[in-house]
Amino acid sequence: MNLLIVALAPVVIIATYIYYRDKYEKEPIRLLLFALIVGGLTVIPILFLEQFLSSFTTLFYGLMATAWKAFVVAAFSEELFKYIALYLLIWKSPEFNEKFDGIVYATYVSLGFAAVENVLYVMEGGLTTGVMRAITAVPAHAIFGITMGFYFGLAKFYEKQRANFKLKALAFPILLHGIYDFILFTGYEWLTIVFVGFVIYLYVSGLKRIKELSNQSIYNTDYDLLNEKLSKPE
């Protein structure tokens, strides 16, 4: 029971934080819970796709095999099904009426997946695994969701840039997720410093995107100003 609490505590904390950062119109609790459930259920198709893609790993050697596992087997599979779940859940929903809603729902879908994954890892690895994943893996999944939702929200409200933002909503989380896993999968101890730096970058970039959209309602965003900010390097 204690390990279950350790596994789910970071999910609850992050979900609560995202909920309260939604300043203008809180999302229905029932829909947020549904997003968590749907996110958790994505584990099923992800496992099948990962198993299929893993069969091609033997075609590669060394770091190429590591990159395949990180960027394709793990990152592509997981973020693709999170994206599909997010799209089916809210794209046509009347509740999706602010750009920040994209971040809210994408993060909840990601946290649903992270909850199931974290329970499996913590039950096997114990308390130390739970503590480490509470400050690395679970927040990382949340930030992949924040990144996805950031561009997903922009895609909803900026029709002329819709295709571009939809592509970014999928591609950027895959890239970030792939880099995260690649650093871990290499097993090189000297990359520990790089990993810590990358996790810090994820935290900063995630908070930046939350701040960018949480202070804007559907009525008060100047597109040209936002577009100018987005074009600046992070």
Tens digits of residue pLDDT in 70-113:
999 999 999 999 999 999 999 999 999 889 999 999 999 999 99
pTM of the model: 0.87
Number of folded domains in the chain?
1
pLDDT one-digit tens code per residue, 121-179: 888 888 888 888 888 889 999 999 999 999 999 999 998 899 999 999 999 999 999 99
Which range marks the domain in which residue 117 is found?
A: 2-231
CB proximity list for 110: less than 8 A, separation 6 or greater: 39, 82, 141, 142, 144, 145, 148
For 180, left (φ over 0), alpha (ψ -120 to 50), or beta? alpha
Q: Can you tell me the distance from the alpha carbon of 64 to that of 14, in angstroms, rounded to the nearest whole number?
A: 34
Residue 221: what are its φ and ψ, rounded to 5°? -95, 125
CA distances from 98 to 46, 85, 89, 123, 231 (A): 29, 19, 15, 38, 21
